[in-house]
């Protein structure tokens, strides 16, 4: 049997890291075994449905490199792939009729007040909460017809077997058992005629030939209901793979308070889609060996259910930043420039950093730096690539290139206070800066080697055995900072004219 998997989100919100991990595992599993990945929207919860979220979902998948061969936007033999449309097409009716005729499901007409009273009774008496039959599980056909004739709204419920165990296999946890008496009868069809997830998703999985279902471990408690439904329909259940939750480094379930968790927020913040995909895939899955930085193809080749851990995975932002840096350093500098220009030109980038500035005043400055570098990268690509190449080893995201490269594009107006105090008012430092400016006079350009020779020559002329007393004040004078890329390289990128201008300003500031 060929592998067929599905990513079937509910369009109720922008997908977060946990959702995207599920989508990635579907993609990797299908790719690993030459199978089919299906994208299906489960939009039966009309009260929470947000059409714009469908766009976010598809954008998020494309951002991290998830592919699908059937489903939304690409079509396929099981269309439509939106559950509300499948309901309107009458696809579910045959299965509803089959369940009712076999006695596997029953109509219940409890009022909201009656259901509230039932739950209160269960809570007061410390009983399992849920619907375990009420007045309708064993109601006669005549009683059901009487309720219908009276116009009472009713729901279709699955009849969970009592007095026996419900047993099934989970690919990660092995054999799982539930007592049928503790599993409530779930609603399959709501009073408005719309199918619930418990019904539509399982029927669709059957009709679409799904062989493996990847979903969060929060669905384990619902799994016995789904197994009972499949068996009632005479269907062999797919392989169930319940993925552990993702937690923050503080051990609590990942949430907005841990920072960005929406997939598209990471794109807005300047992360690379392939780096994010690599990082997310490894939260709870081990490819074997000590491999960490991997391409999508490498992950797909290594992906195996045995590598998925049953324990919770940890979302470690530092590790994501490390992976991101590794990806950036591996890219040709021309591609980095192109990706940066594309990133800086997005409307969402400006909106993201403007919104961040309400909480963090430095975010507004970051956006200004991003836009400044974008202008330079478009007007003089070669010069921009020289700047980017020097910072490529140091930055953690595309957004970081803006502030990292700012000193190349704007003369410093301030100097690091601690470093300035160290060199300020020292005649030998002022002499050094004046000598360097004079040595640059008449030059239109300077290579790394030229700049190194200048600095070493000055150190020798001034009687310094080590380069530190020359390198450190010169760096501060040229950039306003005490740390940064290699001095010869940054001097070459700045060029003689900019260096002379900055040295003259520094002489005044250092005096």
Active site residue 256: yes
Answer yes or no: are the C-beta atoms of 262 and 63 closer than 8 Å.
no
- How many other CB atoms are there within 10 angstroms of residue 255's CB atom? 11
**DSSP strand E in 302-368: where?**
313-314
Answer yes or no: are the C-beta atoms of 308 and 284 closer than 8 Å.
yes
d(CA 411, CA 501): 8
Terminal C-alpha separation, the chain:
80
- Give the chain's count of helices (H) and strands (E): 23, 12
User: Which of 344, 338, 345 minimizes the C-alpha distance to 381?
Assistant: 338
d(CA 399, CA 340): 8
d(CA 162, CA 179): 8
Active-site residue, from 31, 256, 306, 319: 256
d(CA 82, CA 84): 6
d(CA 492, CA 114): 80
d(CA 305, CA 284): 11
Q: Would strands 174-179 and 246-247 be described as parallel, antiparallel, or unpaired? A: unpaired
CA 443 to chain centroid: 49
Rounded to 5°, angle at Cα 87 from 186 and 72 = 110
3 state SS of 156? strand
- The residues pairing with 285 across neighbouring beta strands, listed in sequence order, are 308
- How many other CB atoms are there within 10 angstroms of residue 286's CB atom? 14
Q: Would strands 165-170 and 155-158 be described as parallel, antiparallel, or unpaired? A: unpaired
Residue positions annotated with a catalytic role: 256
């Amino acid at each position: 049997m060929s592998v067929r998997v599905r990513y079937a989100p509910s369009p109720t919100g922008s997908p977060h890291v946990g959702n995207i991990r599920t989508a990635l595992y579907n993609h990797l599993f299908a790719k690993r075994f030459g199978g089919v990945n299906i994208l299906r929207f489960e939009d039966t919860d009309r009260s929470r449905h947000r059409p714009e979220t469908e766009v976010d979902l598809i954008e998020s998948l494309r951002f991290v490199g998830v592919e699908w061969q059937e489903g939304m936007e690409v079509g396929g033999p099981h269309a439509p792939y939106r559950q509300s449309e499948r309901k309107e097409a009458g696809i579910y009716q045959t299965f509803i009729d089959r369940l009712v005729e076999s006695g596997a499901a029953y109509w219940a007409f409890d009022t909201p007040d009656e259901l509230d009273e039932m739950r209160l009774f269960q809570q007061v008496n410390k009983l399992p909460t849920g619907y375990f039959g009420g007045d309708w599980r064993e109601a006669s056909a005549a009683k059901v017809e009487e309720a219908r004739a009276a116009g009472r709204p009713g729901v279709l419920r699955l009849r969970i077997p009592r007095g026996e165990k419900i047993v099934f296999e989970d690919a990660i946890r092995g054999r799982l058992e539930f007592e049928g008496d503790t599993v409530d009868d779930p609603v399959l069809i709501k009073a408005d005629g719309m199918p619930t997830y418990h019904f539509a998703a399982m029927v669709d999985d059957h009709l679409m030939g799904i062989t493996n279902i990847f979903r969060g471990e929060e669905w384990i408690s619902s799994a016995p209901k789904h197994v009972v439904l499949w068996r009632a329909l005479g269907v062999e259940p797919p392989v169930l793979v319940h993925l552990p939750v993702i937690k923050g480094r503080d051990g609590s379930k990942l949430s907005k308070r841990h920072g960005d968790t929406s997939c598209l927020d990471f794109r807005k913040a300047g992360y690379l889609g392939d780096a994010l995909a690599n990082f997310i895939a490894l939260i709870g899955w081990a490819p074997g060996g000590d491999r960490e930085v991997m391409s999508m193809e490498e992950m797909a080749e290594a992906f195996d259910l045995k590598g998925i851990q049953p324990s919770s995975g940890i979302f470690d932002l530092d590790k994501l930043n490390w992976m991101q840096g590794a990806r950036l350093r591996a890219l040709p500098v021309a591609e980095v420039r192109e990706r940066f220009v594309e990133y800086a030109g997005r409307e969402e980038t400006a909106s993201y950093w403007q919104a961040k500035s309400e909480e963090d005043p430095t975010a507004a400055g970051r956006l200004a730096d991003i836009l400044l570098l974008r202008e330079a990268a478009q007007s003089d690509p070669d010069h921009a690539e020289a700047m980017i190449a020097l910072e490529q080893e140091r930055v953690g995201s595309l957004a970081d290139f803006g502030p990292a490269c700012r000193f190349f594009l704007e003369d410093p107006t301030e100097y690091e206070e601690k470093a300035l105090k160290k060199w300020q008012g020292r005649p030998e430092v002022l002499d050094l800066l004046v000598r360097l400016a004079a040595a640059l006079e008449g030059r239109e350009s300077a290579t790394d080697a030229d700049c190194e020779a200048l600095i070493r020559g000055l150190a020798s002329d001034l009687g310094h055995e080590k380069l530190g007393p020359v390198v450190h004040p010169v760096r501060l004078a040229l950039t306003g900072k005490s740390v940064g890329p290699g001095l010869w390289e940054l001097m070459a990128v700045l060029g003689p004219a900019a260096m002379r201008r900055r040295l003259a300003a520094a002489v005044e500031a250092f005096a």
